[in-house]
Structure 1
Amino acid sequence: MAFWWVNHKQTRDHEVSGGYLWSPFRNANGAYNQTYENMRHAQVGDIVFSYANGRIGAVGRVTAEATPCPKPAEFGVVGDYWSDEGWLVEVEFVEVPKPIRPKEHMQAIGPHRPDKYSPINANGDGNQGCYLAAIPDTLGHLLMALTQADELQLDKKLKIQESEPDAIVLEDLHQIDLDLTIPDTQRLQLAKARVGQGLFRKRVLMLNESCRVTGVTDRRLLIASHIKAWKDSSNAERISGYNGILLSPHVDALFDGHLLTFEDDGRMHIHESLPADVLERWSIDPSMKVEKFRPEQAAFLAHHRSVFARKVA
C-alpha cells in the first residue's frame, strides 16, 4: 500500500463525490508532467489524501487503476485548457473525522515532504502545479493520525452497495468468471459494469450530467444503461462510457426494452406497441428532442435503433 496526495481545488467536489481522480495525459503545451503520470502508478488499495482550499478534508482508497477516459462533462468550463482525454483512477472517498490545514502543522509535516514533486511548499501552501504526488509512508501515517483517518474502517466505509442481480445477470457474471482469457483487472471491471457499478457507471457519469429525458440530476436516482445491449457488445464496448446513457428508472425501462430510442440528433422514437397512456402517466413527451449525442455514440445508437425497428411487441 502506498500513500498519495492530490491537489484538486477546482475539481474537488466533483471528484470526491463522484469517486474518482481525473487528469489529462500531459500539460496543455504537450509537455510531460510527472504528477499526471503518477495516475498510472496508483494501485488498488492505495490511500489518497484530498487537499483543496488549504485543507485536507477527505481520504480515499483506490478501487481501480488508471484507464484512459474522456474529460468529465461535469467539469464544465473548469480546465478548458486541458485536453479532452486523460487518465481516470477510481477512488472511493470519505470525509475525514478531523479536517486539517497543513499550513498549521508544518513543523511536523515539513521534514517528511518529498524531495521532488512535493504537493506542498515549504511555507505550507499547496503546490497547485502538482496534481497527484507520491508521499513517503512516514507522511502518510502522520496525516492519518492528524486527520484521525486512522480511526476509520476504510474497507467498510468505502464498500460499494450493489443491488441483488437477477438470474440473467448472475449467468453473465458466471461467464465472466469462467473466461480465463480476460485479465483479472478487466474481469473485475466487467463484473461491476454488469451490475451497473464501477468503471462503466463512472464513465457514463463523466459524459452525462442528468437524465436525457427528465432532466433529473440526482445520481442516486439515475441508471447508467448500456445503449448496445450487454449480450451484443464486446468486452471493450461493455465498459465504454460512449456505450452508455444516463436515464431515470422509468425511462430506462422503456429504453432497455427497446420501446423508446433516439436519433443521433436527439429526436425520440416511441414504439407503436407502447400504449399512449404510459407516456401520459409518466410525463414523457414523444415529440421532445433531447440533447444531441456525441459522434462516438453513433454506432451504438444505430444498433439500438435496429433492434427497435425489429421489435414486434
Structure 2
Amino acid sequence: MQAMQRDDVVFHYGRQYLRAISRVTAPWVAAPRPPGYPKIRSGDLDEGWLVRVEPVVTELSIGFDELRDVVGSGPGRPFGKDGRPAQKYLSTITEAEAATLLDRIGAAAPGLVESADLMSLPLQTDMPIRGTARVEQAELRRHLLRSRSEAPCAVCRRVLPASLLVAAHVLPRTLLTDSERMDFEHVAVLMCVLGCDALYERGYLTVRDKQVKIGRPADTPAVADSVGALVGSSVEPVSFQQESLFAEHASLHLGGPSRRTFKR
C-alpha cells in the first residue's frame, strides 16, 4: 500500500466478482484500525495505513473465471496456484493486464487520463458493462473542486471539506445528452452530503429565481424541518443555461411543463 501513488487504478473485488474500479486520490497516511475490522490474531496492530480512492466505475459483476483469464494465477498474483483469490488485501497487476480488463469492461483507463484532457474521455458516457459506467463522474468532481481541499455547498453555502461534497447534477443525469454531461461548467454544482444533495435530488427542495424554495411535499416532519432550514438561501447559477436547468428540475418535481421525460 505504501507504493500506491495518486492516479493509480484500483480494481475492487469481493464475493466472487470484480465489483468496481477506482482511482487513488492521495498517497498513504497512517490511520487507526477502522470499525468493523476486528483483529484476527492477538498480535495484530491497531495502527495501519490508509489510501483514499474515488470511484470511477461501480456496479460491476465480472466473474473470477473471466478475471483469471486476464491476470493469471501463482505466487504474488491476485489468484493462487489453486485458482482461488489470494488471502490478502492488495495485489499488483501489469499495465497490460489492467488495459485488457478495462477494454473488456468498456471503460476508459481512469488512471491514464490527464485530468485536464477532457477530449480523451469517450464520447458516450453510459456504456453497458453488466452495470453502467459513469466514466465522466470523477473528472466532473475534479473540475468543480479545482484542486481545492474545501469549498462551499451550492445550497447551504457552508464551506466544507472536499470529502463531504459531491458533484450534483442540476438536472438528473439520466435526462442529459452525452454532450450536456460533458459540459462540466454548467451541468453540475457542488452539494454537501450533509443533506442538501439528497433533498435536492429527491425534489424536496428546488432552486427558482436564484433562491432555495420548497419542492414536492415532505413525507415526514423531519424532512420538512430540514427543507425549511434551507428555504430562502441564495444560489448563484454560473450562467443562464444553468439557471434554466434549475428551472427544469423544479418543473419535474412540481408537475410543471418540461421538454424532457425520465428514462428509467
Tell me the TM-score normalised to structure 2 length. Answer: 0.45
* Structure ranking higher on relative contact order (CA contacts 8 Å, 6+ apart): 1
Tell me the TM-score normalised to structure 1 length. Answer: 0.39
